[in-house]
A and B are shown apart, each in its own frame.
Chain A
Amino acid sequence: MSYTCALLITLVVEALLALTLVAREERPVVLLACLSVNALTHPVASFLLARGAGSMEAIEVAVLCAEALCYRVALGPGLRRALTLAFVCNGVTWGLSYLV
């Protein structure tokens, strides 16, 4: 699978998941946050993986923490919401990466 394809699948799946996890009035902001957060972490994680900077599991955990932090910064108070978004979205795409 090409990198472009992997990035697009990640963006679409995580955006759809994020939209289902938040209230309707928050969706536009969460959508933008989700796309931004993934556009930040995905290339960096792919770069680290390609360089052999760590195992896939270690990089995924780092990505999860980074995304939770970014969600917290972008969306404001609510650490639980940031962690839920990061954990659920990444959990699903991580699982997908083994299937696709």
Chain B
Amino acid sequence: MRHLIAILPLLLCAPLHADCILVGYKGVSHTFEIRGLGDAPEGTRFCAYPVYIGEGPMSIEDGEHFSFYKSVSPRIYAYQGDLPVFDGIDRNHGLAVSDVELHLVSAVPEWQATYAIHTIYQFQGIEEDRVLLELMYETHYGAECDVVGAGDALLSSAWPLLPIASVLAILGLALRRRLRVSA
């Protein structure tokens, strides 16, 4: 049930592809980052496309924060040499491309404390015509649960309790040892 409640805001956010923010929602900034691009074969560069309506691809650097227009869902392309020119509706454009599409959250319900989101993907490699990416973390700044690993909403919402309980356990062990010594 808690999982269902946790994903409800995401389902509610899904239809938000208009330019306006619906009543009861607030705008948030959502940035993305792809780590490990430096591990790609020498000379390989990366770009995201589409990023803004009517504009060409955007070059992506290792660890660089980037964002894009909320109504598009860019994929990551690998290329050599100059930034490619994209035309038509061909999905691959003759380049290796990610299966993963990036989806930007531009607004969340007003009751949520989140004011910014940062999503980190890890570059896994290039396999034939595929750029392999894996979701690492999505950090919701301002939210009660700051660190949301993929599929870990339940643990993340309770994660501050874990270190606190651990400190108590360590102090308990120390106290037990002292009591034993004094006895």
Contact = CB atoms under 8 A, between A and B. Distances in A.
Interface of A: 2-4, 6-7, 29, 32-33, 35-40, 43-44, 46-47, 50-51, 70, 73-76
B170 A70 contact: yes
Contacts of B120: 50
Contacts, number: 72
A7 B154 CA distance: 14
Given A3-B147, A40-B167, A75-B177, 12 more contacts: A3-B156, A32-B169, A36-B170, A39-B162, A39-B163, A39-B169, A40-B170, A43-B147, A47-B159, A51-B139, A73-B170, A74-B170
B8 to A, nearest CB: 21
B174 A74 contact: yes
24 contacts: A2-B149, A3-B150, A3-B156, A4-B149, A4-B155, A32-B169, A36-B170, A37-B166, A39-B162, A39-B166, A40-B163, A40-B167, A43-B147, A43-B160, A43-B162, A47-B146, A47-B159, A50-B147, A51-B139, A73-B173, A74-B173, A75-B173, A75-B177, A76-B181
B179 to A, nearest CB: 12
Q: Which among B147, B150, B159, B166 has the highest number of chain A CB atoms within 10 Å?
A: B166
How many chain B residues sit at the interface, stated as a range, is 20 to 34
Interface string B131-157: 000001101000000110111100110
Contacts of B169: 32, 35-36, 39
A4 B152 contact: yes
A53 to B, nearest CB: 11
B170 A2 contact: no
Closest 4 A/B residue pairs (Cβ): A3-B149, A40-B166, A36-B169, A74-B173
